[in-house]
Amino acid sequence: MNRIALCALVLAGAARADEGMWTFDNFPAKKVAAKYKFAPDAAWLEEARLATVRLAGGCSGSFVSPDGLVMTNHHCAHSCIEQLSTKEKDFVAQGFYAPRADDEVKCPEIELNQLIQIADVTSQVQGATRGLKPGKEFNDRRKAAMAGIEKECSAGNDKLRCNVVELYHGGQYSLYKYKRFQDVRLVFAPEFAIAFFGGDPDNFNFPRYDLDVSFIRAYEDGRPAHTEHFFKWSPSGAKDGDLTFVTGSPGRTDRALTMRQLQDDRDVVLPDRLAELAQWRGALTVFTQESPEHDRIAEGDLFFVENNVKRYTGYFESLTTPTLWDKLADRERTLRARVAGRSSLRKKYASAWDDVARAVDAFRAHRKEFSYVELNGDARPPSAFNSPLISLARMLVRGTDELQKPNEQRLKEFSDSRLPELKQKLFSRAPIYPEFEQFRLAYMLTKMREQLGADHPVVKKVFGKRSPQEIAHELVKSRLYDVKVREQLWQGGRDAVQASDDPAIEFERLIDPDARAIRKWHDDEIEPLETSGAERIAAARFEIEGKSSYPDATFTPRISYGAVRGWEENGRRVEPFTNFSGAFDRATGRDPFKLPESWIAANQNHQVEPATPFDFVTDNDIIGGNSGSPVFDKSRQVVGLIFDGNIHSLGGDYGFDETVNRAVAVDSAALVEALDHIYGARRVVAELKGSGAAAAATGQ
């Protein structure tokens, strides 16, 4: 009786909350209509989808003109801005503006993806493994089925990216077909000091005063892309309580994890990751303080690390909050009881939780090895201190080897559909700094020896009698800094790479057998058990609850609805808007509260309106990856630009708490006011307001 009453309450709560990162093909229009008296139709949703882009590196953006102009965050283009900078000209510090179309400069690594088609391929993928138990064969067949579908979709066309997307943890598979833009150029970026005003102290907090924006442009065949689907600019902006939509690609949520997995996150994974990030943060901070040059070459990495420290701290704190923990535990208990209570469900699903638990336990014993031997060549966290040099060497060593195999037998990051992404990284012109690599590699190797122990076979093999500094010193003599060298090795293929005496290549060749061994164990023994467990739990939930909810975020395009809305904190009300004058009040003249000269001058000369709304919060359900997402109204007019969440939004990884979880956005009025009256970026303003398309197209 109590249980039923409780469930009714939870469901009622869920109905009230603006929760959900919905796929474009399953948007709860009726729910929105019931609450906000507005129901988007299919055409509206399609327009919103096509006007939204994903930055392949991990952000979101939107077309805001018919000429390929894309609005995203400064921090999403940060590495480009850094890469274009030189010792002489630091665009991070000074900002960037291309007054003419000709002045727009190519970003070495930014790729944009526009989702042009969604198709349900659940039956094909699930059919390929029907009747199989989780294990190597199950895994291989599913991988083969997915690779086949992707290959057929892109049909060798490099301008398309086709991904089979796993949703609801295997409850549904969708084929997402994207148009790919790889020629992307920088148009405008303000100074870092205003993009990230308040720095790390204010990060994930509110009130905020940040102009975290950059404008970039998609090109095709050397000309601005013609983009007929784009968001227009709102003349009036948003007000407190207004309905708001956010589109973009939330990176990852973990709202369907089992309690055993959550316990592993709470007790092992997150504390360990936080300690690793903290140590690297400390080291990197001092490194950047050693000289302006160190600061220039490493502050992007430091930014990334500090962001992750806050992020994982938020995750950890949400898991040690008894209310959330108890709620999630209760949800699992309820589902398991229902499964156990019906014999048809019990047979199919009851063992799923145990499978997941077995996978977690088995992996734990080799977690560090997997992290230091296999992940270190990769860019995934927690290896925040990864070396670009070693990553390149691994792409070459492994890539040329994997390409000998048929598509469906390769490691997934080397499948045909992923090759354009791989090549973009491999042939990126982004500079790599030997001095920073030396520092990073020595650090990484020291940590590897500490964590695996001096007696670990891989450590012995890598170290011999050398110190981390000596090994790093050898590695930085690599010739892979030069894109041409990488191109030659890639074209020379497996034989050329195997014959190379480049020290970074030699290093990768040395550890690759060990790295592959543990990767294989993970992919054959651990992953299938976890995947099939999650799939069956999701399936059980479908059978019982129906497909009335949204899937976990998977860095694929989604849409969320909500409203401009402050919140209560410790009995104090947090208002939803800040304005320019608040920023001038907060400025201390000292980093990270130092306003750029341009702002101080504009204020002194009364060029800007102090009452201009600056940043605001909404209760749209977002997560990392939504950075750069547009906030728009029911007419699909831009009213803001997502750049952060408040501290409570971090727990959104595991569950959404509508009372306190808030998205933080730059107000559209702030963007236009700053572009126009602080930066004199007339060309961009005209284009946003719809009067400047011609200028952009003909400017060259």
Q: Rule CB under 8 A: choose which of 228, 484, 589, 604 binds a second copy.
A: 589
Of the ranges 54-62, 240-248, 272-280, 339-347, which one interacts with a second copy (CB under 8 A)? 272-280
Q: Should residue 454 be labelled a site residue for a second copy when binding is judged by CB under 8 A?
A: yes
Q: Should residue 653 be labelled a site residue for a second copy when binding is judged by CB under 8 A?
A: no
- The residues facing 559 across adjacent strands are 22, 247
Cβ distance to a second copy smaller for residue 581 or 607: 581
Backbone torsion region of residue 131, taken as left when φ is above 0, otherwise alpha when ψ lies between -120 and 50, otherwise beta? left
Query: Which contacts (CB < 8 Å, 24+ apart) does range 138-143 have?
Result: 138/528, 138/532, 139/523, 139/524, 139/527, 139/528, 139/531, 140/408, 140/409, 143/408, 143/412
String of contacts with a second copy for each residue 300-329, x by CB under 8 A: ---------x---x--x---x---------
Q: Rule CB under 8 A: choose which of 30, 130, 465, 572 binds a second copy.
A: 465
Backbone angles phi, psi at 463, to 5 degrees: -85, -40
Cβ distance to a second copy smaller for residue 489 or 647: 647
Q: Which residues contact 688 (CB under 8 A, 6 or more apart)?
A: 64, 65, 69, 233, 671, 672, 675
Q: Are 121 and 164 in contact (CB under 8 A)?
A: yes
Of the ranges 32-40, 160-168, 461-469, 561-569, which one interacts with a second copy (CB under 8 A)? 461-469
Cβ distance to a second copy smaller for residue 408 or 435: 435
Q: Which residues contact 464 (CB under 8 A, 6 or more apart)?
A: none
Of the ranges 8-16, 165-173, 332-340, 458-466, which one interacts with a second copy (CB under 8 A)? 458-466
Cβ distance to a second copy smaller for residue 155 or 454: 454
Q: Which residue has the tokens 């094909």?
A: 124
Angle, helices 2-16/322-341, rounded to nearest 10 degrees: 120
Cβ distance to a second copy smaller for residue 270 or 518: 270
Q: Rounded to an integer, what is the distance from CA 665 to the centroid of its chain? A: 17
**Residue 194 C-beta: closest distance to a second copy, Å:** 17
As a whole number of angstroms, the distance between CA 631 and CA 668 comes to 9
Burial class (CB in 10 A: 0-12, 13-18, 19+), 381: middle
Subset of 195-234 contacting a second copy (CB under 8 A): 198, 200-202, 205
Q: Should residue 591 be labelled a site residue for a second copy when binding is judged by CB under 8 A?
A: yes
Subset of 381-410 contacting a second copy (CB under 8 A): none
Q: Rule CB under 8 A: choose which of 450, 482, 568, 597 binds a second copy.
A: 450
**Residue 439 C-beta: closest distance to a second copy, Å:** 8
As a whole number of angstroms, the distance between CA 174 and CA 165 comes to 5
Q: Should residue 337 be labelled a site residue for a second copy when binding is judged by CB under 8 A?
A: no
Subset of 592-631 contacting a second copy (CB under 8 A): 593
Count CA within 13 A, CB hemisphere, residue 24.
Answer: 26
- Residue 469 parent element (H or E): helix 468-475
Q: Should residue 291 be labelled a site residue for a second copy when binding is judged by CB under 8 A?
A: no
Q: Which residue has the tokens 């067949």?
A: 141
Q: Should residue 299 be labelled a site residue for a second copy when binding is judged by CB under 8 A?
A: no
Which residues in this chain contact a second copy in the complex, by CB under 8 A? Answer: 198, 200-202, 205, 266-268, 270-271, 274-276, 278-287, 290, 309, 313, 316, 320, 449-450, 453-454, 463-467, 470, 588-591, 593
